[in-house]
Structure 1
Amino acid sequence: MKKLYKCLLILLGFLLIEEMARGQEENAALWGKPSQSSTYAGSEPEFALDGLLNSWTHTNQQTNPWWRVDLLKVYRVNRVTITNRPSNADRINGAVIRIGNFLDIYSNSICGVISTLAASATATFSCGGMVGRYMVVHIPGNQKILSLVEAGVYGTLAGNRAVGGATIQSSTSADWFAEKAIDGNRGLQQLYTGCSSTLNETNPWWRLDLRDVYRVSEVVITNRKDCCAERINGAEIRIGNSLENNGTNNPICAVIPDIPAGESNNYSCYRLEGRYVIIHIPGDWKILTLCEVEVFGYLAENLAVAGTAIQSSTSSDWFAEKAIDRGLQQLYTGCSSTLNETNPWWRLDLHHIYRVSKVVVTNRKDCCAEQINGTEIRIGNSLENNGTNNSICAVIPAIPAGESYSYSCDGMEGRYVNLIIPGDMKTLTLCEVKVYGEGPFLKRSFIKLMFHSSKDLTDSTMRENVLKQLGSALADRGFTDLTLSWSQTPKQEVMQNVKAGKSRCDTRK
């Protein structure tokens, strides 16, 4: 028989994109505490949050009946969803949805009004980022009944992330300490009471450590009101993970042209990611005074926390998983370490394929900071050579003792994150590795393979053998969770004449 040539198209899975729950929009009502103005026949307020369409809340017939969920924290509410009951649907007509921080219903702001809503229907009301701890639905008027099947409140935590952070500044004038800019004292910007200030110097700066990586949506700056309001002019707000040049090399969120004395201005940062918020004024003979700095946003998802870590060897109890425990980087408590060996490596299995935007690495701070020099960060799906053959995201030239540096991976795709130091007599110590990106993805991929065979592929047994060999070859390269199948049976005439066409097989996950 003549040599036969086949082209196999391998379908590695269906594209699946899932947003991570933490740090993203969530149904905050599910974690809240519901109540209502009265309860009829055991139809409790919790029934609006049970996820069931055959149960609903029910007040007595009364004046101005209401249902309320206490979200327990202040949220920026983007939207509210209301599902109506399957019978007596007109009872919800005229209901008002309010968002706010007050137990007095009418002190809260109106998000929407339900004019009509069909039986069993769900309506969505945009609240445009309204801020509040409570979502209230009420029907104004006499002899009214309020009944809800389901209620959802979707948004993000609106808390000031600066609270609980750590501050430092380039110098300190008298007792105008750095921490006074995050003391919550926005309204008392009098002299010597509620502001931070540097000395008169070149390029003064103030820095806030948020203690974790956030996607910063907004920074609010309050200027001093006693005098010298123009001194804030030209200040830069920077967000990022680098401490290089005291953090002033991080990306710019905004430049402050001016802020009137004693007033607060908002600056949108468009979800810039970073652990540090830096404010500095470039130039000579400058003084930086800040009476309050507020930071709003939400945690960026550290994918490493849900992953599994392994390393080429382990020194004492410096286990691989200690590099993803979000712990402290003290000696013997929060770091991983290999033995002194050739090409030591550490690998994180994310369990799914992600598009990795960046990797943040924290170096040990007790000693030996130079041991991390030359470490390669690799991203990919292969376990060949313990994953060290995957593509390089970055090479670490150096990280100062105890500090964290961020490395951009520009959306590289992979399930595995490998750190390796090439060379002899090397020790790899990692006090924290954080991974940020999008996913998970079950990526749809097409791989074209050429092979030749003297077998008759119209025979079902032969075709199955080909798929088994192909599956084995893919497993050797890390693709283990696959099912391979032929999409059509090869035809004899196609196999005899290569130019006549190509047969296909595909795999479906």
Structure 2
Amino acid sequence: MVNGQEENVAFQHTATQSSMYKFWFSEYAVDGDRGSYSHTNPQTDPWWRVDLMKVYRVNRVAITNRLSPTSDTVSRINGAVIRVGNFPDIYSNPICAVISTIPSGATANFSCGAMEGRYVIVHIPGNGKTLNLCEVEVYRYLGGNRAVDGATTQSSTSGNWISERAIDGNRGLQQLNTGCSSTLSETNPWWRLDLLHIYRVSEVVITNRKDCCAEQINRAEIRIGNSLENNGSNNPICAVIPAIPAGESYSYSCGGMEGRYVNLIIPGDMKTLTLCEVEVFGEGNRAVGGAVIQSSTFTGWFAEKAIDSNRGFQQLYTGCSSTLSETNPWWRLDLRDVYRVSEVVITNRNDSYAEQINGAEIRIGNTLENNGNYNPICAVIPAIPAGESYSYSCNGMEGRYVIVHIPGDWKTLTLCEVEVYGKDLTESAMRENVLKQLGSALAARGLTDVTLRWSQTPKRVIRKVNAKSHCSKEN
């Protein structure tokens, strides 16, 4: 369930609770329906827990209280504690917030400030307590851990310590022998993550093993880039790890380094590389997932190859788009939503025809008139050296379409990759429009001294017809 720049990562995940009253299951608090609820028996320290299955940086938790006319049932939520962390037990994780009170049927938001964790727990300390939860929503920014959807490999594998375990969302603190990856003892062991798309990596978080061999991570190199030469270990270095204490997670700033691959390698003989978790944070390329078209197609050089996250360095003849030689050739990307574009990165072909890009215009806007070539210009490309990627600042130009075209006769447009970075405006613009319309309606009725704002991000709610108990019912 995605809302604007946030995603509810609790939706339909595995939930458990300390006890169950009648048939009010723990899963009802993560079913997307704020009219159904989970319910424990009266007991000491009742609790409810959701397993997010992966480690997330939690921005906020939204709790919906039951709808009831009696203060006794509404006040049951008072004093509940929200915890976020990587331990499944109730009391080991740090506290995000303590709920003082939530009105009947209302939803309250609690900021967790990017707390990291796989589990979100709600519990009420005390005797004779009952925990009702109509809905628990756990929001992380979409710019979260990019590693979780990637693909991994490593130079060798010790036993069943396979490479995928370093991105399974389990930092291995509870289950070292089943939650970490490891190579054999060898020369220059390495581990590689394919992010599947090019990202600007701001941060990499490494969790070290928690046993006798914590020093094995010492001097490991974190490398980020787009090359698979030497299994990716020739890419630029983000950081060298001097040491990480046993069981600790250390963060390394990469300053927006661009790359599809994240490699860890330990140079030297008789080295073992063990990783209990690798988390990667950064800005994604907005072109990925868009729709593309071009004015003509040279055999096999389809328009889609300019947004396949392969800059064409490895496979020029299968990794780039190209038109025929023609008058005013163009290539167009539909971002599907309106964005405020901060930057466009163009990768040129890596052969003797690099000059073909000279004079190309980058245009951004919302019109398809003249195939989009009437939109405003972000930049004109004087030249890009063969195989290089050049960045062009567009200073927040707004548009759904990104067009690259070359004016003139007998021109050929080849693009090995087009990357677009910026902010999605569609959701925020819709929300602002709703507020403006509501403000106009109130002003027409003489209510002008009113400040309107969203207390939470609105979303489309699909009500389900089922036999669940609802929060308006008494028990």
Q: Same fold (TM over 0.5)?
A: yes
CA contact (8 A) 1:375 1:419 kept: no
For residue 343 of structure 2, the aligned residue among 350, 355, 358 is 358
Distance 1:358 1:140 in 2: 51
The aligned amino acid for 2:259 is R
The aligned amino acid for 2:79 is G
> Counterpart in 2 of 1:314?
297
Between 386-395 and 147-156, the greater mean CA deviation after superposition: 386-395
**2:32 pairs with 1:46:** no
Question: Matches of residues 223-302 of structure 1 in structure 2 within 5 Å?
Answer: 269=253, 272=256, 274-275=258-259, 296-298=279-281, 300-302=283-285
Deviation of 1:70 (Å):
1.1
Distance 1:195 1:79 in 2: 44
**2:2 pairs with 1:56:** no
> Counterpart in 1 of 2:109?
124
Structure 1 residues 270 and 333: CA distance shift in structure 2, 3 A: closer
Distance 1:261 1:55 in 2: 45
Structure 1 residues 195 and 439: CA distance shift in structure 2, 3 A: farther
For residue 327 of structure 2, the aligned residue among 310, 334, 342 is 342
**2:287 pairs with 1:304:** yes
The aligned amino acid for 1:34 is A
> Counterpart in 1 of 2:357?
373
> Counterpart in 1 of 2:433?
none
Question: Matches of residues 437-456 of structure 1 in structure 2 within 5 Å?
Answer: 437-440=422-425
> Counterpart in 2 of 1:395?
381
* Uncovered stretches (5+) of structure 1, i.e. residues with no partner: 1-19, 169-181, 198-206, 280-286, 445-509
For residue 430 of structure 1, the aligned residue among 400, 415, 425 is 415
Distance 2:99 2:8 in 1: 20
CA shift digits 1:44-92 (9 cap, x unpaired): 2232223433321112233432221111111112221211112211222
* Uncovered stretches (5+) of structure 2, i.e. residues with no partner: 156-163, 229-233, 430-475
**2:401 pairs with 1:420:** no
Deviation of 1:346 (Å):
0.9
Number of aligned residue pairs? 388
Distance 1:414 1:31 in 2: 35
Higher relative CO (Cα under 8 Å, sequence separation at least 6) belongs to 1
Distance 1:359 1:165 in 2: 28
Distance 1:306 1:120 in 2: 38
CA contact (8 A) 1:371 1:428 kept: no
> Counterpart in 1 of 2:139?
154
Structure 1 residues 183 and 72: CA distance shift in structure 2, 3 A: closer
Deviation of 1:344 (Å):
1.7
Distance 1:106 1:100 in 2: 10
CA shift digits 1:453-479 (9 cap, x unpaired): xxxxxxxxxxxxxxxxxxxxxxxxxxx
- Under a length normalisation based on structure 2, what TM-score does the superposition of the two structures give? 0.63
Deviation of 1:358 (Å):
1.8
Between the two proteins, what is the percent identity of the paired residues?
51
Question: Matches of residues 210-221 of structure 1 in structure 2 within 5 Å?
Answer: 212-219=197-204
Structure 1 residues 290 and 428: CA distance shift in structure 2, 3 A: farther
Deviation of 1:428 (Å):
2.0
Distance 1:114 1:386 in 2: 55
SS in 2 for 1:47: helix
CA contact (8 A) 1:62 1:142 kept: yes
CA contact (8 A) 1:183 1:292 kept: no
CA shift digits 1:16-47 (9 cap, x unpaired): xxxx869x432211152222233323222232
> Counterpart in 2 of 1:478?
none
CA shift digits 1:161-183 (9 cap, x unpaired): 89857999xxxxxxxxxxxxx99
CA shift digits 1:107-149 (9 cap, x unpaired): 3222222243332233322323222111111223443321111
> Counterpart in 1 of 2:453?
none
- Under a length normalisation based on structure 1, what TM-score does the superposition of the two structures give? 0.59
Structure 1 residues 221 and 337: CA distance shift in structure 2, 3 A: same
Structure 1 residues 391 and 343: CA distance shift in structure 2, 3 A: same
> Counterpart in 2 of 1:477?
none
Distance 2:88 2:339 in 1: 43
For residue 119 of structure 2, the aligned residue among 134, 138, 155 is 134
CA contact (8 A) 2:329 2:406 kept: yes
Distance 2:274 2:203 in 1: 14
> Counterpart in 2 of 1:86?
67
Structure 1 residues 59 and 154: CA distance shift in structure 2, 3 A: same
Q: CA RMSD in A?
A: 5.1
> Counterpart in 2 of 1:105?
90
For residue 34 of structure 1, the aligned residue among 11, 15, 39 is 15
Distance 2:278 2:359 in 1: 34
The aligned amino acid for 2:285 is N
Distance 2:347 2:272 in 1: 30
Distance 2:386 2:42 in 1: 68
The aligned amino acid for 2:137 is G
Distance 2:111 2:199 in 1: 25
**2:306 pairs with 1:323:** yes
Distance 1:153 1:62 in 2: 26
